Structure formats: C-alpha cells, structure tokens
C-alpha cells in the first residue's frame, strides 16, 4: 500500500465549507487504497490574528510564548478536520506536532526539525486511521513548543513524507500550481507543469510564497516528489522534482520579496577585522544578512551596505548602536523602503543577454536600481518598495517569450 502526504494551507481550511471540502479530498485518497497523512495550517488569517493580539500587549513578546500562542491555530484546523472526516464515516485522528514526534532545535519562531520520532504516526496508520498532523510546529528538547517559521507547514509535510518514505507529498493551496510569477500580480503568468528542486528553491527563497523554501530544500535532500495543486479545482498542478523536463526555457520565473530592509554603515574604518566584528555579532543573535556591498569612501573609510529580513531591524540597529564607537563607524542608516525583484532559471549564467534584458525592462519602466546581485541561477535587483509590483510585471513581460515552453 502506498502512503501519500497531503498538506492544506490556510485558505483551504478557512471555514466549515472548506474543511468539509478537504475532508472529501482526503477521504477519496484514502478510499483509493492509500494510507494518508494530512498536514494542516491554521485557518485563514488565524496566525496573523494571533500575532496581532500579542502586539496589542507589547512590541517585544517572548519568543517562547509566541510559539505557544501561534501553535494553537493549527490545532483548531487539525481537530476540526478530524471531526469532519469522522462525520463522513471515515476513521481519523488529529495529532499535535509533539504527539506526531516532531523534535526541533530551540530557535523559537524559526526552528529547524532535528528528527521525527515516527512510532506514533506509524501506530495510527497501522490502525487504519487517516492521521491529521498540525503543521508548522514541534517541541524542543526541553519539551517547549516551537514553530518552524512563517509558511512552515509545507516543511512539516515534506518532513513526514521523508520520515515515512511516502510516495509523494501533495501541497494543496489557493492557486493551481507554481506560476512564472505570482498569478495575483501578473495576469500573463503561466503555470509550470514541472520545475526542478533547485529552481523552485531559488524562487521560494526569493519571495515566491507558494512554497516554504525549507520544504523544497528537504524535498531535494530526500528526493521527495512534491506536487503543488489547488484544493478547489481538480486539475493537474506543478510537479517539483530532481530534473525538470528539458525544454528551451531559460527563465523559470520572476519573484519579489517586499519583506526586507537595508542598513548602510557610513564611515567604517578601512582596517582588517571590522567586518568580522560587525557580522559575527549580528550572526550571534541569528540575524541573517542577505547581500553585503562595500564601497570605498574617503579618508581611509568605507561604507558597508547590507540587507536583512523585515522584523530583524530593531535588534540589528540596537547591536550596531552598541558597537558604533568600538567599531569606529560614523552612523548606521536604516532604509525600509526597499524590495528585491529576481529572475530565476538554470540557463541564466550561460547567457550574457539575460541581465541586460532585465535592466532594460526596468529602465523602460523608469525604475531605478539601487543594488544588484547574481548567482548561477538568479539575478536580483534592489529597488524602491512601492515599485516592486510594477517591476515584476515589467520584467515578466520583457521575458514573455522566454517564459513560454
Ligand atoms: P497556503 O496558505 O496554501 O500555504 P500561501 O499563501 O502560503 O498559501 O501561498 C500561495 C500564494 O503564493 C498564492 O496565493 C500566490 O499569490 C502566491 N505566489 C507567489 N508567487 C507565486 C508563484 N510563482 N506561483 C504561484 N503562486 C505564487
Ligand atoms: N500558519 C502558519 C503561517 O501562517 C504556517 C503555515 O501556514 O504554513 O505562517
Ligand atoms: Mg504557505
């Protein structure tokens, strides 16, 4: 008998009708003779609402308590879905992250899965239950509840698929697959029948919210076939796997990330060890910096510019203000009006024309580029935040022909 893992996101379980719809999809999969493990997200905007409730009390809530709070959203969905499946005559049981054996590290709000103790999952499957697991959560070695970072239910699903050696991991969402750009922004975006792990990982990391980037990383490591499909329309979605069908497509997609900020350190002394001092301190409080640029200034000083995730600014600025004197720079300037727009495709590196075509599209749309970074399979530009939607459309339409298979 084969095992299928099915994950349903927040919009797919947002109300009673949608829960019943999911119950029917899951029952159908089970009635075809498959073992089924279901992973659910919190209903609709529940996670945002819970975060907002804590924000009404303080700007700086305890990370441990935030995990205890946020994990409740998924518990509501899991128990409701189990009730729904039973009401249709199915056999089901809901499990929280810890009941399902998810053990993570202690990095609250962004924990990584260390292992899954799978006995309970296997026992429940042996009893012919449809097993419904809360996404996005686990416990650490102190038995405290942890969460895996926003969008982390995708990663919970792939982790179960890897642990139980599932045939595939289906990610049901509110769009019917992975598109060449967010279909809510770019009407001309095209659905991709297939995409490689590497390209999907870049797209997800660069802001295409449709999959949590760590879920793709894990699917690649354990060679799990992922499918992205709609919970509302019964049609083929997008398959994420090792090598996508060879086609002439040079570019796979365009993505944007509005949730970033930029910090400029002005007048950093041009002596060895300063960059090390600054970035090791930021790393010690788990602040990930994205791109780092260094520009030569005058009088033996230089400027260092770097980008970081939205939400990390206040702690980063605090650290920088603490070390300003000992590190010897003049000031740290925060800019939150910045976005990153990227194109992704395995063929980018070997094609010299791609970068200039992207820059031309932005120039024609009168969008100023502040910084550029590129790698083997992506080119990213940093621009003003209020222009990011326009930029995605402009770049997508410049590559219209390349984005057709
Ligand atoms: P879920 O709640 O099911 O996890 P998400 O909101 O996390 O759903 O992800 C689905 C959303 O991702 C879509 O509604 C879409 O707006 C957005 N998205 C961004 N980029 C893409 C893309 N390239 N292809 C498909 N969807 C995308
Ligand atoms: N409910 C969590 C979130 O909104 C996890 C998820 O949906 O994947 O981020
Ligand atoms: Mg999601």
Report the chain's mean pLDDT, rounded to a whole number.
95
Q: 373 CA to middle of ligand 2, Å?
A: 29
Residue spans of beta strands (DSSP E) within 110-258: 113-116, 130-134, 137-139, 145-147, 168-173, 194-196, 226-230, 238-241, 253-257
Nearest residue (CA) to ligand 1, atom 12: 210
Residue 265 pLDDT more than 70? yes
Strand extents, DSSP E, 157-196: 168-173, 194-196
More confident residue, 250 or 71: 71
pLDDT of 365 strictly over 70: yes
Q: What is the model's pLDDT at position 146?
A: 98
pLDDT digits (tens, 9 = 90+) for 89-119: 999 999 999 999 999 999 999 999 999 999 9
- Does the Cβ of 101 fall within 6 Å of ligand 2? no
Q: Distance of alpha carbon 69 from its chain centroid, rounded? A: 21
Mutate to test the pocket of ligand 2, among 7, 10, 209 (most ligand atoms within 8 A of CB): 10
Distance 151 CA to ligand 3 centre (A): 4
pLDDT confidence tier of residue 50, bands split at 50, 70 and 90: very high
| pLDDT score for 295 | 83
Distance 208 CA to ligand 1 centre (A): 7
Look up residue 169 and give its two tokens: 């991991």
Q: Is the pLDDT of residue 247 over 60?
A: no
Of 228, 223, 212, 209, whose CA–CA distance to 171 is shortest?
228
Distance CA 373, CA 388 (A): 16
Partnered with residue 194 across adjacent β-strands are 239
- What percent of the chain lies above the pLDDT cut of 90? 87
Alpha carbon of 197 to ligand 2 centroid (Å): 21
The DSSP H or E segment spanning 96 is none
Q: What pLDDT, in 10s, does the model give residues 18-48?
A: 999 999 999 999 999 999 999 999 999 999 9
> Using the 8-state DSSP alphabet, how is residue 402 labeled?
T
pLDDT of residue 251: 87
Question: Residue range 315-342: average pLDDT?
Answer: 95
Q: Which residue has the higher pLDDT, 184 or 402?
A: 184
pLDDT tens digits along 341-358 = 999 998 888 888 899 999
What is the pLDDT, as a whole number, of residue 311?
Answer: 86
Residue whose structure tokens are 């354990």: 222
pTM of the model: 0.93
Band the pLDDT of 245: cuts 50, 70, 90: low
Angle, alpha carbons 362-256-333 (nearest 5°): 85
> Residue 248: what pLDDT?
59
| Residues 296-311, mean pLDDT to the nearest whole number | 87
Q: Which ligand is nearest to the CA of 209?
A: 1
Is 202 a residue whose pLDDT tops 70? yes
pLDDT higher than 90, residue 250: no
pLDDT tens profile 111-168: 999 999 999 999 999 999 999 999 999 999 999 999 999 999 999 999 999 999 999 9
Q: Is the pLDDT of residue 264 over 60?
A: yes
**47 Cβ below 6 A of ligand 2:** yes
- Assign 372 a pLDDT band (cuts: 50, 70, 90): very high
If one counts every other C-beta atom within 10 angstroms of the C-beta of residue 72, the result is 16
CB-CB contact of 178 with 195 (8 Å): yes
CB of 258 closer than 6 angstroms to any ligand 1 atom: no
What does 90-106 look like in DSSP terms, one character per residue?
--EEEE-TTTTTEEE-S
């Amino acid at each position: 008998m084969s095992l299928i893992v099915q994950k349903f996101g927040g919009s797919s379980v947002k109300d009673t009708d949608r829960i019943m719809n999911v119950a029917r999809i899951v029952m159908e999969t089970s009635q075809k003779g498959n073992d089924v493990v279901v992973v659910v997200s919190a209903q609709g905007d529940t996670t945002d609402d819970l975060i907002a409730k804590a924000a009404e009390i303080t700007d700086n809530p305890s990370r441990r308590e935030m995990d205890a709070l946020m994990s409740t959203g998924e518990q509501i969905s899991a128990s409701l879905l189990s009730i729904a499946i039973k009401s249709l005559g199915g056999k089901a049981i809901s499990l929280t992250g810890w009941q399902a054996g998810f053990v993570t590290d202690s990095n609250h709000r962004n924990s990584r899965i260390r292992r899954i103790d799978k006995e309970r999952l296997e026992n429940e499957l042996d009893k012919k239950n449809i097993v419904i697991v809360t996404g996005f959560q686990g416990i650490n070695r102190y038995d405290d509840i942890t969460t895996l970072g926003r969008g982390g239910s995708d990663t919970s699903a792939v982790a179960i698929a890897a642990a139980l050696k599932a045939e595939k991991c289906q990610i049901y969402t509110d769009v019917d697959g992975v598109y060449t750009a967010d279909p809510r922004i770019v009407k001309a975006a095209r659905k991709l029948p297939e995409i490689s792990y590497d390209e999907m990982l870049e797209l997800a990391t660069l802001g295409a919210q449709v999959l949590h980037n760590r879920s793709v990383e894990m699917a690649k490591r354990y060679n799990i076939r992922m499918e992205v499909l709609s919970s509302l329309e019964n049609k083929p979605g997008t398959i994420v796997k090792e090598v996508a069908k060879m086609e002439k497509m040079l570019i796979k997609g365009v993505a944007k990330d509005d949730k970033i900020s930029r910090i400029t350190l002005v007048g950093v002394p041009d002596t060895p060890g300063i960059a090390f001092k600054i970035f090791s301190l930021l790393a010690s409080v788990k602040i990930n910096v994205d791109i780092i640029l260094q520009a030569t200034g005058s009088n033996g000083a230089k400027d260092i510019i770097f980008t970081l995730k939205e939400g990390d600014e206040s702690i980063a600025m605090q650290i920088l203000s603490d070390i300003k004197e000992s590190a010897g720079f003049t000031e740290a300037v925060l800019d939150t009006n910045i976005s990153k727009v990227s194109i992704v495709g395995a063929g980018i590196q070997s094609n010299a024309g791609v970068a200039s075509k992207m820059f031309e599209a932005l120039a024609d749309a009168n969008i100023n580029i502040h910084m550029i970074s590129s790698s083997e399979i992506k080119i990213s530009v940093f621009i003003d935040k209020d222009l990011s939607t326009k930029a995605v459309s402009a770049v997508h339409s410049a590559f219209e022909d390349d984005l057709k298979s």
